[in-house]
Structure 1
Amino acid sequence: MKAKLGAAVWGAGWVSGEHIKAYKNNPHCEVVAIGSRKAESARAKADEAGIECAIYTDYDELLADKRVDIVSICTPNDRHAIETIKAAEAGKHILIEKPVALNLEDLARMRDVVRRAGVKTVVSFVLRWNPLFECIKGLQKTIALGQIFYAEVDYWHPLGRWYKGFDWVTTKKAGGSMLLAAGCHAVDAIRYFMESEIVEVSAYTTNAGECEYPGTIVAALKFENGRIGKVSATWDVRSPYTFSIELLGENGTLRDNRLYSKALLPGQTKFLEIPTILPDSGDVTHHPFQPEIDHLVDCILTNTESHVNLEDAVKTHEVCIAADMSAEEGHPVRLPLIS
């Protein structure tokens, strides 16, 4: 294998700068290309990061660059599927921003192409590397919580025209839906913590904002192991960004970073606050992209599959689509939707 893996970032929006920075800081990588439909946007990202690299305005030309081993896809949501398929067919490893696709057909096709190509993928459910998430997974290896029998995860993100992507993320064509556009973080989190797959969804929506699709959704979830949960997501909220986590276990309870567990602490009389970093900001500079990209690079170098590869992420997206179907059709939807 060559001395360093060549990374290319396709898309020059807000999140791409964090990908570029993380690749630059990884000792096994170098950024060899940045691409965007506008050359000046890509060049501005290179200048911002202080790097010299190739600038592309044509995605096919970027994929043809033999120095490129990894592609980060940071474009609007409705372009992720075809760009992932092209990258896999070109033999590139891929970091895909969420959502990876907006419909079941694209999900299935992406999954099948990536399987055939044998490339490594990570889907950017970046909160899996948030310190609170890491604390929770650590607690789950102890007696503190026991098996989780009920969970709630809420993604409440106020959105306004101050956001540069407002005009596309609020459309059905490019944004998809509230869960697909952003609330998928909550769905991924509840799957991650429950350690069981979702088999049935019942959902309801309403709209109190400017989205083409309902900007608020709540979904009740039934898991394969018989446990239950709830996720909610909204752009419409008038409050600071909130990502709340409630886990009720047979041995204890977690409310964000507050733990109550007499199984672990027999003399405990009130919730104990765990000093950590909460997922309490929608600002991408607050998100742990460095460990995410370090993880992708490690998967490539060690030929191992990620816990959040495309195969896993398809299941999160299926739940989002099932919830949208349930809300629109007025009945529970069973999973899986893709064979």
Structure 2
Amino acid sequence: MAGRTYGVGIIGAGWVSGEHIRAFTVNPFTEVRGIYSRRRETAAAKLQETGVTAKVHDSLDSLLSDPDIDIISICSPPNLHCEHVVAGAAAKKHMVIEKPVAMNAAELQKMQKAVREAGVTTIVSFVLRWNPMFETTKQLIADDAIGDIMYAECDYVHWIGPHYGQYTWSRTKAAGGSSLLSAGCHAVDALRWFVGEVEEVCGYKAKGFPGSDYEFEPNITAILKFKSGAAGKVASILECRTPYIFNVALYGTKGTIRNNKLYSHKFPGQSNYLEYPTILPDSGDVTHHPFRGQINYFVSCIQNGSKPHANLDDAAKTMALCYAIDEAIATGRPVKL
């Protein structure tokens, strides 16, 4: 199947959809053939912006019923993801699903059921898994550079205010959901990706700006108890006065990783951290995110019939962790997963 060209349909015409289009355009086995958005003019403008010639569909049903489309990219607002994933599964389309996957556990379970019954391939855009620093960190862990991880931290610190495009919807409870659902779920997924599954969480809210317009707590932190026996901390800070920060710190029995710095038993006599040059996850701009790596991997999985590591069922574990943290914050009590 490697020589086949897969037709792609884009659902949604916001900021991130342009990066999906560009990623599919450069993949040698895919071609963007259609787009649907609630406003036809917005969809047409997105095609013009990306230099792609494709059909602008007047309805979701029109795009999903197009036999020339094999893959759909769901870049619609998060509160529409459930509807679009269930419809895409019924149409037997492979799917790229933007994060957050779903706004609550009930929606998530409905999506999982539809995808399992349809037997289609999915991938969720926890796109930092394809960031070079993440890839190197994952390999260092596999190579026993730091031994067993005892403690881990990940921080998502990004001022998303009125100056920022997504603020108008992401600050709302209906479309943004929470600090983690809106943005910080990337940090939650990073801890799962590097350390493993979590069995219990405690969560706390922090102060935000006076007179904040957020409909949920924009600044939160949580303590995590991993099944491996490790402990960890995750923070999601959306009201702050600082450039974008995404910190990863992993403390092991044989060494430590702090972003792109390594202290390891593999280097006898090492007196300080070894810093290696790489592309860091240091920008919230979607043009900086490695969508090409994600899309190339996804297409190869479709070709060889394998399941992507960031498939819907795997991503559901990250989302369940986010829901648990939000519950812990709301109730003031630890939550077991």
CA distance in 2, matches of 1:15, 1:57: 20
| Residue aligning to 1:334 | 336
| Residue aligning to 1:197 | 197
2:301 partner letter: C
Matched positions, count? 333
CA distance in 2, matches of 1:136, 1:73: 29
What RMSD in Å do the two structures reach over aligned CA positions?
1.0
Cα deviation, residue 141, structure 1: 1.9
Helix, strand or coil at the partner of 2:106: helix
| Residue aligning to 2:225 | 222
| Residue aligning to 2:166 | 165
1:273-328, Cα deviation, whole Å (9 max, x unpaired): 01111100000000000010111111111110000000000000001000010011
TM-score by length of 2: 0.97
Q: Is the 8 A contact 2:206 2:221 kept in 1?
A: no
2:228 partner letter: N
- For residues 291-310 of structure 1, what are the structure 2 equivalents within 5 Å? 291-310=293-312
- For residues 90-105 of structure 1, what are the structure 2 equivalents within 5 Å? 90-105=91-106
- For residues 253-272 of structure 1, what are the structure 2 equivalents within 5 Å? 253-261=256-264, 263-272=265-274
| Residue aligning to 1:67 | 68
| Residue aligning to 2:121 | 120
1:59-109, Cα deviation, whole Å (9 max, x unpaired): 111101111100001111111111111101110000000001011101111
1:87-144, Cα deviation, whole Å (9 max, x unpaired): 0111000000000101110111111111111100000000000000011011112231
1:220 partner letter: I
TM-score by length of 1: 0.96
| Residue aligning to 2:80 | 79
Cα deviation, residue 210, structure 1: 2.2
Cα deviation, residue 162, structure 1: 2.1
1:167 partner letter: T
1:249 partner letter: G
Taking a change above 3 Å as real, the CA distance of residues 295 and 169 of structure 1, as seen in their structure-2 partners, is same
Provide structure 1 residue ranges, at least 5 long, that are not aligned to the other structure. Answer: none
CA distance in 2, matches of 1:164, 1:239: 18
CA distance in 2, matches of 1:103, 1:207: 25
1:135-169, Cα deviation, whole Å (9 max, x unpaired): 10111122311111100000001112122221211
Provide structure 2 residue ranges, at least 5 long, that are not aligned to the other structure. Answer: none
2:198 partner letter: I
- For residues 1-339 of structure 1, what are the structure 2 equivalents within 5 Å? 3-194=4-195, 196-208=196-208, 209-261=212-264, 263-335=265-337
